[in-house]
Homo-oligomer: A and B are copies of this chain.
């Protein structure tokens, strides 16, 4: 798991992960690259991350992937990420195509639902919580 201030260097990360697993005998490598879309007049998105819980979440996924003979990797931005640059890359390596296609879907969807990351629109220099696009985590409402 890798966290960076500002936009990701997508090519460096993709290539380095490829090299890291070059001799691991995986047949399928599926990265998911998330890029900031120009919409709603934003200049950038901005992210807060709570790293200890993110690390636990990621370690749990690493165990789930290993149980299926695969591995997962992940990189995310902290702070401002301008439009048309990337804030998120996750990837699955697996011996088998079918496992890789299923895992990348589950991993990315659970990431959206449960990774402790908060998103803000940056408009006119101010930072506005993207409440309408945010999802309560599993177990939300415990203290209500």
The CA-CA distance from A22 to B31 in the complex, in Å, is 17
A53, CB-defined interface residue at 8 Å: no
Residues of A bordering B, CB below 8 Å: 10-11, 14-15, 18, 22-23, 25-39, 84, 95, 97, 100-101, 104-105, 108-109, 112
Q: Of the candidates B26, B30, B33, B39, which one forms a contact with A32 in the assembled complex, judged by CB atoms under 8 Å apart? A: B30
Question: Which B residues lie within 8 Å of A109 (CB)?
Answer: 101
Q: Are B29 and A30 in contact (CB under 8 A)?
A: no
Question: Which B residues lie within 8 Å of A29 (CB)?
Answer: 32-33, 35
Question: Which B residues lie within 8 Å of A37 (CB)?
Answer: 25-27, 95
Question: Which B residues lie within 8 Å of A32 (CB)?
Answer: 28-30, 97, 100-101
